[in-house]
Structure 1
Amino acid sequence: MSVPHARPFHLPRLSLRSPSQLVVDEEQLADGRPDCAGAPAAECCLVPAGLRRESIPKHVAIIMDGNRRWAQLRGLPASSGYEAGVRSLRLMVELCCKLGIGVLTVEIEFLMSLFERGVREELESFLRYQFANPIGKIRISIIGSTSKLPNSLQKLIVNVEETTKNSSGLHLIVAVSYSGQYDIVQACQRIAMKVKDGVIAPDDVNESLIEQELVTNCTQFPYPDLLIRTSGELRISNFLLWQLAYTELFFAKSLWPDFGEIEFLEALHDFQRRQRRYGGSCFK
């Protein structure tokens, strides 16, 4: 897919402190978007050529698909695909922070052995990053059926969420063992119990009440503006079913480890070319 008037948006990998060569949109620093938790002006809210700052999505969700296929195509073990995928995730985190995107939600789905090791290593890595970099802190939340994870990993998740809960930069939401259908079911069950206990009346049940009971109620922007799925698969696979009601969908052919800066900007350009109607019709 070609992107008119776009040029590469080069960022230093894994560093929010290196001087940027891009032009800062000063107005964007005052429009309420995250500012990388107090980072200097030259290090956040950057608008690459061809993108409109007012149309940058507040919440981007990504289904990171294609790690194992990437490894298989290269005759490598699945673990190599995962490691390459982690590098892409770190780059996306930095791009989102630089662009002033408020929330990034990603779904992690690997073989259990790789999953346990990978989640542990990445969470520990993010914790080290938080302590080593007072500028550019991010908030991390884990959603999904974490009760199925090993106790040691559950404790690490609690530690990560507690340590980062007051960070004012990018909110990174990691979905592990997550089911969109179950998310809706558990929300309905909680509401049903409140009705049964007389806390609320049946007529009080509405979309807003259900939203409050979904696991994404942990963020200021629970509804993604843009969903990206890599590897060419054209489905959402039980991911954020309620929350994606009016989300713009972008399906990239690239396998996740190959999805980088240019591909992400292509998705943003495509998003900004669309006319969002939120369920309305162009004939109305």
Structure 2
Amino acid sequence: MRADSHDHDTAPEIDPARLPRHVAIVMDGNGRWARARHLPRTVGHQRGRRAVRATIRAAMRRGVPLLTLFAFSSENWKRPVDEVDALMKLFINALEKELDELDENGVRLTFIGERSRLDASVRRLMEAAEARTAGNDRLQLQIAVSYGGQWDILQAARQLAERHARSPLALDDPETLHSAFETGLATAGQPPVDLFIRTGGERRLSNFLLWQAAYAELYFIDVLWPLFDESEFDRALTWFAGRERRFGRVDSNEANQ
């Protein structure tokens, strides 16, 4: 997973100041990739690991500080038991096999989601990976497991209500309320999502980082996740660098007209 493991002399130049601080990806299309090849869906999920590795390499090479991958959603628990079991085994296997190299490359691993729904053995593995890589600072790789954006907002609201009950907050002040609420999110202290990528052709957020992606640039592509590679990631970054991000304001040219 070396960031310099491929020749990228032809990669487009991007002003580092125009790079996103936080990239979030919905990795969609594993099942359809497998079905088109008359293979089990689980083979598609396994093939998707290559795309994960390529994306991590690209993020490190470009200097993106935070990459969040949607590995398993709250809604995925509704899938057939066999597929859920296979996904969990794949997640455990990938974490065990990749951890050494991630750590060697300075990657800090973090996880967000409803951990209470995961087996105790999985939780222990996640906690050990977080503790081992806590001092790394080349890239924060955040994996969303058993995560849902609505769950995240509701649990943050509950925490805020509990804090207010213990010690009343100045909730009539919008800035105070906003700040107090965000401290309860799974992503507390992190920058908001700048670039939201979804592969596989669907055009929706699918309950992923709903609060955090409020002003994200949305990049939807038809490429199925197993076919996503470093050049596709570069293409997304180049597109992002060309966007004018106004956050509700008018641009300077319009303001002077």
Take 2:203 and 2:102, find their aligned partners in 1: how far apart are those partners? 35
The alignment status of 1:99 with 2:62, answered yes or no, reads: yes
Shift of 1:59: 1.0
Which secondary structure state, in structure 2, belongs to the residue aligned with residue 249 of structure 1? Answer: strand
Which secondary structure state, in structure 2, belongs to the residue aligned with residue 203 of structure 1? Answer: coil
Contact 2:3 2:58 in 1 (8 A): no
Q: In the alignment, residue 239 of structure 1 is paired with which amino acid?
A: F
Query: What TM-score does the superposition give when structure 2 sets the normalisation length?
Result: 0.88
Aligned 1:16-95 pairs, distance under 5 A: 16=3, 18=5, 48-95=11-58
The alignment status of 1:239 with 2:198, answered yes or no, reads: no
Q: Report Cα offsets for 1:148-194 as digits up to 9, x if no partner.
A: 01111111011111111111110001001111011111111111011
Partner of 1:126: 98
Q: In the alignment, residue 93 of structure 1 is paired with which amino acid?
A: I
Take 2:4 and 2:232, find their aligned partners in 1: how far apart are those partners? 24
Which secondary structure state, in structure 2, belongs to the residue aligned with residue 176 of structure 1? Answer: strand
Match of 2:186 among 179, 200, 215: 215
Partner of 1:40: none
Which secondary structure state, in structure 2, belongs to the residue aligned with residue 246 of structure 1? Answer: coil
Q: In the alignment, residue 253 of structure 1 is paired with which amino acid?
A: D
Q: Mark the runs of 5 or more structure 1 residues left unpaired by the alignment.
A: 1-13, 24-46
Which secondary structure state, in structure 2, belongs to the residue aligned with residue 69 of structure 1? Answer: helix
The alignment status of 1:276 with 2:248, answered yes or no, reads: no
Match of 1:113 among 73, 80, 85: 85
Match of 1:229 among 198, 201, 226: 198
Shift of 1:199: 5.2
Partner of 1:197: 166
Take 1:67 and 1:239, find their aligned partners in 2: how far apart are those partners? 18
Q: Report Cα offsets for 1:4-37 as digits up to 9, x if no partner.
A: xxxxxxxxxx22465x7567xxxxxxxxxxxxxx
Percent sequence identity is 37
Contact 2:201 2:221 in 1 (8 A): yes
Q: Mark the runs of 5 or more structure 2 residues left unpaired by the alignment.
A: 77-82
Take 2:27 and 2:38, find their aligned partners in 1: how far apart are those partners? 20
Q: Report Cα offsets for 1:46-81 as digits up to 9, x if no partner.
A: x93342222111111100000011000001111210
